[in-house]
Amino acid sequence: MSDLILHRCNAMISKEEREVFVNNALKQADLLCKRKNVRLTPLRRQVLGLVWQNQKPAGAYLILDQLQKQQERRAAPPTVYRALEFLIEQGLIHKISSLNAFIACTQPDTVHVPQFFICKACGNALELNSPMISETILNRAQEMQFEIEEQVVEVSGQCTHCHCHLPQREEQPTL
Ligand SMILES: [Zn+2]
Ligand SMILES: [Zn+2]
pLDDT of residue 5: 35
114 Cα–ligand 1 center, Å: 5
pLDDT surpasses 70 at 10: no
The CATH number of residue 40's host domain is 1.10.10.10
pLDDT of residue 106: 86
Asked if 136 and 142 count as a contact pair (C-beta separation under 8 A), the reply is: no
168 Cα–ligand 1 center, Å: 33
Residue 111, SS3 per DSSP: coil
Which ligand sits closest to the CA of 166? Answer: 2
Q: What are the phi and psi torsion angles at 126 (to 5°)?
A: -110, 125
Q: Average pLDDT for residues 139-157, to the nearest whole number?
A: 96
CA 55 to chain CA centroid, nearest Å: 11
21 Cα–ligand 2 center, Å: 20
Residue 139 resides in a domain: yes
Residue 47 resides in a domain: yes
- Mean pLDDT, the chain, as a whole number? 87
Closest CA to 114 of 95, 98, 99, 139: 95
pLDDT of residue 163: 85
pLDDT surpasses 50 at 39: yes
58 Cα–ligand 2 center, Å: 15
pLDDT of residue 87: 98
Domain count, the chain: 1
Residue 3 resides in a domain: no
pLDDT of residue 55: 76
DSSP percent split of the chain into helix, strand, coil, nearest 5:
50, 15, 40
- Segment 84-120, tens digit of pLDDT: 999 999 999 999 999 999 999 989 999 899 999 999 9
113 Cα–ligand 2 center, Å: 23
| Residues of the domain holding 100 | 10-171
CA 115 to chain CA centroid, nearest Å: 10
Q: Answer yes or no: pTM beyond 0.85.
A: no
User: 10 Å Cβ neighbour count for 60?
Assistant: 17
128 Cα–ligand 1 center, Å: 8
Which ligand sits closest to the CA of 165? Answer: 2
